[in-house]
């Protein structure tokens, strides 16, 4: 059996050497992608062609790619989302797909709360004014008492709700795939998408991609949101129509937005020009502690597969 492990991550063990040390001590042969940038399809097919296991980032593993990786038996994803992987074909080929689903919860939830607070208190604009030595006091809002609407109420959405409630915010959620008892256990009411958009001061996306019912916040959705509402997206870039968001911000209907994901990355579009918009470079899961823990579990998943302890029926997605 070919036991080669290929690390396709843009960075690996950059701040914490434990994932690399675990890989070295495993005894299995390995190669590491070292450009420091997201791996391209050509680089993946060249460097990973003989790999039995690939430690994957967000690069695509579509049908064309999988068919050109004949030795591949396991994809160990460093992160939660597996949207970029053709799971149907992977299963047909007997390729095990593993991920690190619980580790990023705290990091993403903390960034969401950071954006809620920073946008509500207009921190970016006030800080910019002070840098210009302009003493101007702006109107801002508390998070306490505001209505936060969460689109998607999985692990991350539930943690965001807990943090919001600690600030005495009101929380509702929309998630057609969730049992109401789970929402009730968090003191959160499940509502329709229209109710959420119409009544929320802050709308935050935490849904996973669903091909059957794709979520898109576009012109129609912005038009029914409360005037002065805030939009935050830490889920998927394609869930927000960025052109419609720009128009909603220009018109003043939407007071601000916080985005960590974009339809095309790296993002260099017009949203960069607005002081009431906070943009981060798809970095929600990149705190040093979170990244190290994800890489460690990613390596552990790879080693467990090669040892025969992780099978197709026991994927950890």
Q: Count other Cβ atoms within 10 Å, centred on residue 210.
A: 12
The answer to whether the Cα torsion of 70, 312, 103, 191 is positive or negative is positive
Residue-wise burial string across 67-84, b where 16 or more C-beta atoms lie within 10 A, e elsewhere: eebeebbbbbbbbbbbeb
- Determine the length of the chain: 317
Residue of 33, 146, 236, 291 marked catalytic = 236
User: What would the two tokens of residue 242 be?
Assistant: 């960025």
* 33 catalytic residue (yes or no): no
Interstrand relation of 277-279 and 96-98 (parallel, antiparallel or unpaired)? unpaired
* Residue 21 annotated among the catalytic residues of the structure: no
Sequence-distant (6+) residues with CB within 8 A of 132 are none
> Of 79, 71, 24, whose CA–CA distance to 44 is shortest?
71
- Active site includes 265? yes
* Cβ-proximal residues to 184 (8 Å cutoff; 6+ apart), any chain: none
Phi and psi based region of residue 165 (left: phi greater than 0; alpha: psi -120 to 50; beta: remaining): alpha
Q: Which of 146, 282, 295, 300 is catalytic?
A: 282
Out of 194, 265, 275, 289, which one is annotated catalytic? 265
Task: Indicate which residues carry an active-site annotation.
Answer: 236, 265, 282
């Amino acid at each position: 059996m070919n036991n080669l492990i290929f690390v396709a991550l843009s960075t690996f063990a950059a701040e914490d050497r434990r994932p690399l040390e675990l890989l070295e001590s495993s005894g299995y042969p390995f190669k590491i992608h070292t450009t420091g940038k997201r791996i391209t399809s050509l680089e993946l097919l060249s460097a990973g062609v003989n790999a039995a296991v690939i430690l994957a980032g967000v690069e695509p593993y579509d049908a064309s790619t999988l068919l050109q990786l004949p030795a591949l038996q396991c994809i160990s994803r460093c992160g939660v989302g597996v949207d970029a992987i053709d799971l149907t074909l992977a299963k047909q080929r007997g390729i095990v797909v593993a991920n690190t689903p619980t580790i990023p919860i705290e990091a993403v939830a903390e960034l969401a709360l950071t954006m809620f607070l920073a946008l509500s208190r207009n921190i970016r604009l006030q800080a910019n004014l002070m840098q210009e030595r302009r003493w101007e006091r702006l109107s801002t809002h508390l998070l306490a008492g505001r209505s936060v609407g969460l689109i998607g109420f999985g692990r991350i959405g539930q943690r965001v709700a807990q943090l919001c409630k600690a600030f005495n915010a009101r929380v509702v959620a929309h998630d057609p795939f969730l049992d109401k008892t789970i929402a009730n256990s968090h003191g959160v009411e499940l509502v329709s998408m229209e109710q959420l958009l119409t009544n929320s001061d802050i709308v935050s996306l935490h849904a996973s991609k669903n091909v059957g019912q794709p979520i898109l916040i576009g012109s129609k959705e912005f038009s029914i949101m409360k005037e002065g509402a805030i939009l935050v997206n830490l889920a998927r870039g394609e869930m927000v129509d960025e052109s419609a968001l720009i128009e909603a911000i220009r018109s003043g209907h939407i007071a601000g937005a916080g985005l960590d994901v974009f339809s095309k990355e790296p993002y260099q579009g017009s949203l960069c020009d607005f002081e009431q918009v906070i943009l981060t470079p798809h970095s929600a899961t990149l705190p040093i502690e979170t990244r190290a823990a994800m890489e460690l579990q990613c390596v552990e998943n790879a080693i467990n597969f090669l040892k025969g302890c992780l099978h197709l029926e026991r994927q950890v997605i």
